[in-house]
Amino acid sequence: MSIPSPSTGVLQLGPLRLNAYGMMIALGVIAAVWLAGRRVEKRGIGTRDDMSSIAMIAVPIGIVGARLYHVITDWSKFSNDLFAIVKIWQGGLGIWGGILFGVVSGVFVARRRGMPIAATLTCIAPALPLAQSIGRWGNWFNQELFGRPTTLPWALRVSDTTAISAGYKAGTTFHPTFLYESLACALLFIVLLALDKRVPMRDGRLFAVYTAGYTAFRFFIEGLRVDQAHLIGGMRLNQWVALIVFFVSVAVIVAMRGEPEAPVEIETALPESPG
């Protein structure tokens, strides 16, 4: 038993030919913007139009940041073919660069639109793992970022060419790390919604819970992968990044412990009427 991989990374819808990798990322973005828009309206800190405006800036900048992170950390793949840098549809987006560039640019736009930054981060926190959960299926279509060989019932079967190019025999099956991360992100999405509903928190703390939760399971999933990566002290570079972000996130969570501050009510005294 095994999970088959698609024979092509292109979806044919009538006369339209869609790149599956890009389509899954786009679907994830649409879902995230929809959810974040609902949440900012519910909190009364903005509108869906505000969130759409944020996404129009943050998403493309985030994609550029994600690509830059991948290119910089895997420069050997691009040094002899600079045009390959722009071939995003073939895969290769580093989540760390995407989050950094996307969040920073999104915060800038939110501030210009008069939205409170910490509350906005709380609203978008569950939307990010939702987008990641959907977007990870693009790796399935591209037959990339799979884990070590395994014969488990849910093992991933890739094409013989892909298996051989990875250094294994034709017919080898692998850990479907894309599936592990997709399911973990979906679970994190549900947990964040539950925490936001049931556990009072200061604005912005939920975002730190997201980064801590994501980096915790990403550390272990990263350790399963067999694609080439820079090693430092026997661990992959992305594992070190995950550890650093995790401990910083935990420190922020601890620093922001306690009940959220109650809104301050300002009473305006009415002028006395002349006697």
Residue of 191, 33, 217 lying closest to 123 (CA atoms) = 33
Do 188 and 129 touch, CB atoms closer than 8 A?
yes
Residue of 61, 69, 131, 129 lying closest to 101 (CA atoms) = 61
User: Residue 71 CB: number of other CB atoms within 10 A?
Assistant: 19
Q: What confidence tens digit (pLDDT) does each residue in 88-112 have?
A: 766 677 888 888 899 999 999 999 9
Taking 60 as the threshold, does the pLDDT of residue 33 lie above it?
A: yes
User: Residue 85 CB: number of other CB atoms within 10 A?
Assistant: 15
Phi, psi of 212 (to 5 degrees): -65, -45
Q: What confidence tens digit (pLDDT) does each residue in 106-130 have?
A: 999 999 999 999 999 999 999 999 9
The DSSP-derived string for 159-184 is -HHHHHHTTS-TT-EE--HHHHHHHH
Compute the distance between CA of residue 198 and CA of residue 252 in angstroms, rounded to an integer. Answer: 20
Tokens of 20: 């599956």
Residue with tokens 């935990």: 250
**Residue 236 per-residue DSSP state:** E
- φ/ψ region of 118 (left if φ > 0, alpha if ψ in -120 to 50, else beta) reads alpha
Q: Where is average pLDDT lowest: 131-135, 163-167, 204-208, 260-264? A: 260-264
Q: Where is average pLDDT lowest: 2-16, 133-147, 209-223? A: 2-16
pLDDT computed for residue 261 by the predictor: 62
User: Side-chain half-sphere of 33: how many Cα atoms within 13 Å?
Assistant: 20
Residue of 134, 69, 74, 75 lying closest to 102 (CA atoms) = 69
pLDDT computed for residue 253 by the predictor: 95
Q: How far is CA 226 from CA 10, 70, 147, in A?
A: 24, 16, 5
> 259 versus 161: which is more confidently predicted?
161
Q: What confidence tens digit (pLDDT) does each residue in 36-65 have?
A: 999 999 999 999 999 999 999 999 999 888
Compute the distance between CA of residue 60 and CA of residue 209 in angstroms, rounded to an integer. Answer: 25
Q: What confidence tens digit (pLDDT) does each residue in 178-229 have?
A: 999 999 999 999 999 999 999 989 999 999 999 999 999 999 999 999 888 8
High-pLDDT (> 70) share of the chain, %: 91
